[in-house]
Amino acid sequence: FALLFGELSGAARFLCWGSCAGVGMRWLDTAVLRRLRLLRAVSLTSWRRTSSSPSERALQYKVGENIHGFSVEQVTAVPELFLTAVKLNHDNTGAKYLHLAREDSDNFFSVQFRTAPVDSTGVAHILEHTVLTGSEKYPCRDPFFKMRNRSLATFMNAFTAADYTFYPFSTQNAKDFQNLLSVYLDSVFFPFLRELDFWQEGWRLEHENPTDVHSPLVFKGIVFNEMKGAFTSSERIFMQNLQNKLFPDNTYSVVSGGDPKNITDLTWEQLKQFHATHYHPSNARFTTYGNFPLELHLKAIHENVLNRFQKIDPHTMVPPQKHWSEPREYHITCGFNSLAADPANQTTVGVGFLLADITDISEAFTLSFLSSLLTSGPNSPFYKALIEANIGTGFSPSTGYNDYTRDAYFSVGLQGIDRKDIETVKELIMKTIDEVIEKGFEEERIEALLHRIEINLKSQSTGFGLSLVSFIASSWNHDGDPVDLLKIGDQITQFRQRLKDNSKFLQDKVKQYFKDNPHRLTLIMSPDENYYEKEAQDEEAKLRQKVNALSEEEKKEIYENDLELISLQNKPPDASCLPSLKVSDIEPKIPYTELEIGTAVGDVPVQYCAQPTNGIIYFRALSSLNTLPEELKPYVPLFCSVITKMGSGIYDYKKLAQQIELTTGGMLSSPLISPDDSNLDVYEQGVLFTSFCLEKNLPDMMHLWSEIFNEPHFDDEDRLGVLVRMRAQELSNGVSDSGHLYASVRASRTLTACGDVQEVFSGMDQVKLMQRIAEASDITITLRKLSRIKKHVLNADNMRCAVNAGPQQISGASKEVEQFLKRIHRSKKERKAVRPLVIEKSLPLGRETGHSNITRKLITDPTFKPCQMKTHFSLPFTVNYVAQCIRTAPYISPDYASLRILAQLMTDKFLLREIREKAAAYGGGANLNSRGVFGFYSYRDPNSLATLSSFEQAIEWAKSGKFIQEDIDEAKLAVFSNVDAPVAPSDKGMTHFLYGISDEMKQRQREQLFEVNHKNLTDMASKYLACGQSTRGITILGPENASITKDPTWITR
């Protein structure tokens, strides 16, 4: 229900294991003509295509109708989601199928299997990786990764959840859809599951120096290192243990992703057996979404897969958890967080309650709604009781409603507390439950949450197919009705009726599931200063046990097998068996977005973009930071984090939060560093304010912005203290999951003029600053700094605005923006920029309209000189995050296009092989950011300095030109899948508004990307990447490193 309530539970975020780091969403434009050709090719009755939309056409299917071996079971309109759901069942195998017909060109497919492991060897997770490494029809190595470069997929990945494995992709290209469908189907149903691939993806014993039989044996494996990295995070440790201990009697008592202590017990035979028993059509659920014809999908799936199987009973049902007769309590340990604000306060306490079966959709909706009422925002009972008690740094991990297990559960608690406050937290939780049962909830809070559901349903987002299918996956996995789950309007109607029939409906639920529920788990986690040392000792003991049990013949076999694996990894790949799009399939031109530029209150530029926003108005304002004194800049991210949470004008912070929920979809602010398109050392700096609302609420939303701009409350020390501690905790917790990003920001710090500001705003410096602020005994100093910042930011002096709305809403929105700008402050005299050199640059609108009257005030520092720096952050991690960044070329340079292709080429043809396959890091690659910085990175990497050597080898490989035209074409396909990302109506025109990049500039770079050739790429490698050619920076986040400590060229933090 995160889709409805605008939340992402910690459990859903953390306890799902993906197939590869760095394989993110890749987007493309619509291939209309190719899709029409495909539609004409469908040799089925044409009447289904005479209706005006895919949703209407789907309504014409008849229950009982047979289509390519599938029988239609149900056809249901879901008007609130603008789709028609068609449920089918495959006659011979019993495979379940759901088609969601909707007018969306981003078509989606997934197949999921119920996978219920009985141990923590990670068999389901390792199988998810291994099935993607070669199959009957596609016998090449790693077809999954290779298809990324032969496709214009908008999304490709695979995930292992607690009890199912999920293989999704999406694309807007009809030919591409069929190509990907063929590869995915063959991979999951007919994989090779070679032993060598199991060793690569799962785990293996390998000599430290694979070519030296006398070097010591070590554990290697991609999933092995992925999970070592995952459990570096104390949040993950807590959440995993909470689930395991709350469900001791079924599959949720084990780690589906694999515990590193147990992964090395998994055998190849066990992996193959798990596939044989779980990856059968009788245990499969297929989903398609979008505007492509259902018949074509069914035909491909039946003919290529299902006609080779007969129905079986897979015996994969997960039994419900037996309910306890009395509560239980457990204590666990974790490592110390060296980035936490207070080393003494690192204990976490959480209380979990077993709830109802997630297939009871009405009860699930009620409990999810109730969870949000209990924990969401400063008006919620648990926020008031726990957060405002000032004894912790934030809610415990996994707080809220968790529905990714057969029986849902609710959890709440505090992290960052002193051990002496454990009992206090437990008492506060139970006391709050009693108070809620007695007092209930304010009607306004209920309405605010229902408003949030309404606006989230109306919001037009990209990747909607993936969101919908992820939403239904857990319930459908246990035979819940996915269509009933999507009928959110019915659920809201039923919920309102229950509230009307019983004024204490929600209080009764709290009593039933929390007060009178003996299946209650209290989990306490405290740090152990020897935790990481014990973990290392346990791994070493396990390794010794494995090695000592080997005969000399087995040791020789391991050595030979490892050499065979390396030989296979080094062998030039032959992907000729795989289907592929061609560069000629890419649209040569982009569609232009119409923008209108006006002014308000005389001189404030406003960009208007008319879009089909479904009744929602999106507002943005960018306020310059040019006049802000340098000593205040580090505090800008904190200012942005708290400005809408402190209260303003007539509203204290609780009333402001309530008004924001009642009338908007959210009000946020964030720091923005926007590089110039032609000069690496020129940039714009500002604060971006963002909000959206239903048309009827626009006056209320703009009134709230006026209150925030004119009278923010920077006088509440207690409130700021709460927000500071929460932000500091969130940042410190996030480093282990985003270490590659922090390493990259740091490595690029000294390469461009805005690099230092980027580090101050979003790098390790910001993490450390928040740690110091949270530790400070006196918060008034910080309050005074925030009050000084508001004088420079919360005014209309150096501001520009943007509105995205429906064509009929633009006029009304314009008037409201005008009124907002009239109400907020203007300085009586012009403030001078802190940096003396300001460059004024008009935003280009394109070839037809020339330049707009929006002027960006860019700054530069003539004294800036790029310099090289190597930094090592010594952290209590078991893996490394390595980054090397190189200063290259700005956006409009022809070199930028070549460097972009080169980064993709180096990732796919060299770095993935060396860093992921051979060295067993979870992820790695190269990229080029908008600031003209070329970066190498690795993620959850067992190596550090060796990875830097791989980066240098990649450069030498690129300089030598050891790649062919087919490789270049594949890199272009991968780059264009990112370049042509579908853009939501809310975000149209934003690259122009924020970064000064017009559609004409995008088209020019598009043409440059098409023109990139072999010589361009080798020239770029020599011109920019070769040693001594460009300034570079290096950063490693990871465990202590003796070699680095001894090297005086490194700075250790």
Burial of 568 from C-beta contacts in 10 A (0-12 / 13-18 / 19+): middle
The single-letter DSSP state of residue 737 is T
Q: Is the distance from CB of 729 to CB of 415 less than 8 angstroms?
A: yes
Q: Name the amino acid, one letter, at 29.
A: D
The single-letter DSSP state of residue 358 is T
Tell me which residue of 180, 173, 181, 182 sits closest to 38, measured CA to CA: 173
The two tokens of residue 616 are 């929602």
String of DSSP letters for 267-306: -HHHHHHHHHHHSSGGGEEEEEEESS-HHHHHHHHHHHTG
Rounded Cα distance, 106 and 831, in Å = 48
User: Of all helices (H) and strands (E), which one includes residue 40?
Assistant: helix 32-41
Rounded Cα distance, 546 and 558, in Å = 12
The two tokens of residue 678 are 């032609």
The dihedral of CA 717, 719, 722, 725: what is its sign? negative
Rounded Cα distance, 938 and 744, in Å = 10
The CA-based angle 164-169-173, given to 5 degrees, is 160
Which of the residues are catalytic? 128
Rounded Cα distance, 824 and 797, in Å = 10
Instruction: Give backbone dihedrals phi and psi of 342, rounded to 5 degrees, phi first.
Output: -125, 110
User: Of all helices (H) and strands (E), which one includes residue 667?
Assistant: strand 667-675
Q: Which positions ≥6 away from 227 have C-beta within 8 Å?
A: 17, 122, 125, 255, 257, 258, 259, 260, 263
String of DSSP letters for 946-976: HHHHHHHHHHHHHHHT---HHHHHHHHHHHH
Burial of 567 from C-beta contacts in 10 A (0-12 / 13-18 / 19+): exposed
Rounded Cα distance, 9 and 239, in Å = 11
SS3 994: helix
856 forms beta bridges with 841
Helical segments of 59-213, H only: 123-130, 143-147, 174-189, 195-201
User: What is the distance, to the nearest Å, from the Cα of residue 551 to the centroid of all Cα atoms in its chain?
Assistant: 46
Burial of 400 from C-beta contacts in 10 A (0-12 / 13-18 / 19+): buried
